Every structure is written in C-alpha cells, then in structure tokens.
Amino acid sequence: MGGKHKKSLRAEKAKVKLKGIKLPKGLNVTKTEFKVKKIVFKEQLSKDFNEEEGKRNINIKETLGKLKHHNSSMKMEALKQCKGIIDYKLEDLSRNLGEFVQGIANIILDVESEPRREALKLLTALLSTNSSTIEPFFNILCSYLRCGMTHIQPFIQRDCLQLLDALIANLPNLIASRSDMIFKDFLDMISKKSGDTKNGRTLTLNVENKTSNVKWRSEVLFRLHAMLSTVIEYKFKTRETFFKTKPNAQLRFNPKEPNYFALNQEISMNSITLFSSSSSAKQFDECLKYKDFIAQLMPLMYETWLEVSLSCKKDRTLKEDISLSYDSALSLKIILEIISKIWEIVDFFDQEMKNTGLSEWFQNTYSPDFQNYIMDMFPYKQMATSSKSRSKSKEKRESSGGPECYPQNFNICNLYCKFFKNQIDQHLFNSTLLDYLTSKFLCTLFVNAFLNSVLKFIKHSLQLNRTNQSINPAFQTVCFEFIRKHNYRNYSVLC
C-alpha cells in the first residue's frame, strides 16, 4: 500500500507544470455590459408602430388563422392578440368581423379548458362593450351556443351557460326571438328521450364528479328561468303593448259579403287582414309549441324536486317542519319561480286567443302533482349552519330564500290560488296557507320583501271568496287590516 502511494507522488512531481500568465492591470475586471431590448407596453398598441419601435403591427388575417390551429398554445397566443384588437383596434375589423366572431366562438367547443374559457371571456367582453356591432352575427353565436349546450362533454355544457348569460344580458330581444329552439336544448341538458314515461323524457345523471345532480340541474333551471323572464319581457309584453296601443282596431276583410269602411276614419293597409285565419293560425301553432314544451318540462321539475324531497324526508320527524339544505332550498326556489313564469305565459295566451283552454289544461293536469309533491311539506325552512361556516354561508342562505324560506313559501301560496282556482280545498286553504300567512303578515321583514306579492295574493284570495266562499272571516279581517296599515299607497293593485 505504501509503495503505491510513493509511486503516485513521484509521477505527480514528474508532470510538466506551466506557469500562469498574469493579466495587466485593467483587463482583469468583470464586464458588466448587457444587451437589452426596448420594452413596449400594451397601451402602445393603440398607436401604429413598426419593428424599429420594438413591436410589429398585429396581422388580423394571421391572427384569424392561428385561431384555427390545433395547438392550444397557438390558440392562446391568438386569443391574446384578439384581446388587444378588441381593446384598441376593433374599428379595423369591419371587413373581417364575421370571421373574427366565428373564430372565437368556435373555440368555446374546444376540449382544452384554458383556451375555451379565454374565448368565453372575450365573447362576454365583446358583447358587453359592442353589442350593437355584434348584433348582425347573432345567428353565428346562437348556433355555437346550441352546439355547446348539447355537447357530449359536460364541462363544455357548463361553460357555454356563461355565453348564454352574456347573450341574455346584452341581446335580450334577439335571444327571445330564438327561444323556441333553445328551450329544447334545456331539456336535453337534464334529461333524455324515453318511451317508458308519459312525457317521453326521463332525468339523466351527471357523470362528472365535480358537481352533484342537484347542483347541475339547479344551474340549468336557473338559466331556464332567466330565459322565460326574457321571453315574457321582450316578446309577450311587447306584443301585448302593441295591441293595446294600436290606434285602430284590426279590420278583417270578408270576401263573401260587402265590406264597409268609414271615409272619415284613417285606415292603414296594415290594419286590414285579408286572410283572417292566418294570424289566429300562427298564434294557435305557437300556443301548441309552448304546450308541448310545458308538457315535457313540468314532469321533469316535479321529478327533480321528488328526488330532493325524498332525501329530506328521512331526517324529518312527525311534528317538525322540514329543514332544507342550501342546494335543496335553491332548487325549490328555482322550480317554483319557473312554474310562476309558466303561469304568466299561459295567462298571456288565454288573453290573446280569448280562450281559457290552455289554462284549464295546465290546471287540471298539474294541480294534483303540485298538491302531492309541493304542498305535502309546506311550510319549508332552511337548515341552520354550524358556527364554523356561519359567516361564509350567510350570503348563500339568503340567496336561497333565507332561514324561513319566505320566497318559497309565499310562492306556494300564490301558485295554490292559481292551480285550485275553481276547486279550492277549504280545509287545506284555511288551516295550512292562511295560518301561515296570518302569522307572517305581522313580520316586518316578510312584508317589506313581498309587499306587492302579498297584495296580489290578497286579491286572488278575495276573488276566490266571492266565488267559492272558501275563506274564513278571520282571514278577511287580517287582509283588510293589512291593506289599511301597509297599502294605503298601492291600493290600486287590488282593483
């Protein structure tokens, strides 16, 4: 061992050793020079500048080509350029605006989540700031919206609901005009066709693990309620106002007998209907479409609530009102609001067609299920939260009706008057609904939140009393005291 070590030392000493060269003074200093490029901020995109200033101009055609690229990173780069175009150079897109909107709308069907959500943000910003400019291309957006709502991937369906929110908020009149087709897509999002049920549809399960079936259906039904509200506001009420404010009554031309028109009366050709059956036939066809939609929707909503209520009944004792979770209370609130909107549409068709056939069909078909499924557990309350999550869940509980579920319970009272207008169950009406309302009329929070609704309910109940004598004198006294105390300004609601 010792011999080997000595041999290695001798070999190391025998090596040729070079002497190091010392640099002269001034050259042994570290260089601190760096090559830099000019930084250009996004705000400078509003100006036209060239490569010498640090950035080349955005090529619109090149950007549109990148939107169709299969690579997600290329799409993200193109979307960032599109954001700059929307912010600063939208006026340059007059020739390519249709292709620009279609290119962004196509990405909302992308499987990758990042470009899909970025495209939705761009479309929302574009609609909120330039809705009049995008209005001619509404058909393109509507087509991609319907493709997304019926897509096989559930996460694409969920993200496309954001586009629907933007369209309802910024183009409500156009979305109302295309509502007939979109209503069918809502049904496909929560159900599938089946020959085993009476309405031909059955609820589907949400295969995605991120959200439960109750949450997913609540999200869809919430958008459906927004659609129904938009249709009533921008379609039916517009037609109702038109017929009410029309200066001359519609004159129908009868080819089989002489027609007389006063010479001193101004008559426009638009007010004369040469084919008297055409307008009524169109209204009848529209009424049949809504009747078919209602016939498919109502059983699905009752079935949705039945699933929720069965889970709630397990924890309910005999002498205790049912306590709903946040998801259950929100689901019930949305379902009842949708039924109220359906009643508004039904009443509109009754007035327009001067026929009560639709309301009688709706009342006779769905009043038994309303009493069995909804009235069975009235009144409702929401479950109390734990002390740890009380601060976080307070806003959620208020959005779903609050701890006393005032919106749900009072909506049930109004709907009960509508469904059982001609066949009031005196015992149920007096004991359940009136006892609840009599106790809540003294609650200031309840009165402030539902003053107009309470007045409408009193109007309905007093009308029912004239025909059926179903309301006891004690409740009438409470109603008139309530009117005298709270409604001296809004008494016209009852007239």
Q: 382: which strand partners?
A: 324
Per the structure, the complete domain to which residue 144 belongs is given by 43-170
417 and 445 share one domain: no
State residue 404 phi and psi, 5-degree precision.
Answer: -95, -5
Q: Pick from 144, 170, 196: which residue ends a domain?
A: 170
231 and 304 share one domain: yes
3-class secondary-structure state, position 69 = coil
- CATH number of the domain enclosing 79: 1.25.10.10
359 and 222 share one domain: yes
Query: What's the number of domains the chain is made of?
Result: 3
Under DSSP, the state recorded for 495 is -
415 and 475 share one domain: no
- Residue type present at position 35: K
Q: 191: which strand partners?
A: 203
pLDDT computed for residue 456 by the predictor? 63
Under DSSP, the state recorded for 18 is P
- Residue type present at position 185: D
pLDDT computed for residue 267 by the predictor? 45
Q: Pick from 143, 170, 197: which residue ends a domain?
A: 170
456 and 415 share one domain: no
Is the residue at 103 inside a domain? yes
Q: CB under 8 Å to 424, separation ≥6 — which residues?
A: 464, 468, 470
Is the residue at 22 inside a domain? no
450 and 328 share one domain: no
pLDDT computed for residue 48 by the predictor? 45
pLDDT computed for residue 148 by the predictor? 93
pLDDT computed for residue 271 by the predictor? 43
Q: Pick from 116, 140, 170: which residue ends a domain?
A: 170
Answer yes or no: are the C-beta atoms of 375 and 412 closer than 8 Å.
Answer: yes
Q: CB under 8 Å to 251, separation ≥6 — which residues?
A: 261, 267, 271, 272, 273
pLDDT computed for residue 356 by the predictor? 81
pLDDT computed for residue 207 by the predictor? 59
Q: How far apart are CA 491 and CA 478, in angstroms?
A: 15
350 and 230 share one domain: yes
pLDDT computed for residue 335 by the predictor? 95
Q: CB under 8 Å to 96, separation ≥6 — which residues?
A: 60, 61, 64
Is the residue at 348 inside a domain? yes
Is the residue at 459 inside a domain? yes
State residue 324 phi and psi, 5-degree precision.
Answer: -100, 150
Nearest alpha-carbon partner for 279 in 245, 315, 242 = 242
Is the residue at 226 inside a domain? yes
371 and 410 share one domain: yes
228 and 372 share one domain: yes
Under DSSP, the state recorded for 361 is H
406 and 465 share one domain: no
155 and 288 share one domain: no
Is the residue at 310 inside a domain? yes
Reading the chain (495 residues) residue by residue, the pLDDT tens digits are: 567 888 888 888 888 777 677 777 777 777 777 788 877 665 555 444 344 443 445 677 888 888 888 888 888 888 888 887 777 766 667 778 888 889 899 999 998 889 999 999 999 988 888 788 888 889 999 999 999 999 988 889 999 999 999 999 999 999 998 888 899 999 999 988 876 666 678 888 765 655 678 888 999 999 999 999 999 998 887 776 545 544 445 556 666 666 655 554 444 444 444 444 455 677 788 888 999 999 999 999 999 998 888 776 665 554 455 688 888 889 999 999 999 999 999 999 888 887 788 888 999 999 889 988 888 888 888 877 654 555 555 666 667 777 788 888 888 888 887 887 766 555 555 567 777 777 766 565 565 556 566 666 666 666 655 555 555 566 666 666 666 665 444 444 444
Q: Is the omega angle on the peptide bond into residue 379 within 30 degrees of 0, that is, cis?
A: yes
218 and 363 share one domain: yes
Is the residue at 37 inside a domain? no
Is the residue at 190 inside a domain? no
- Full-prediction pTM beyond 0.95? no
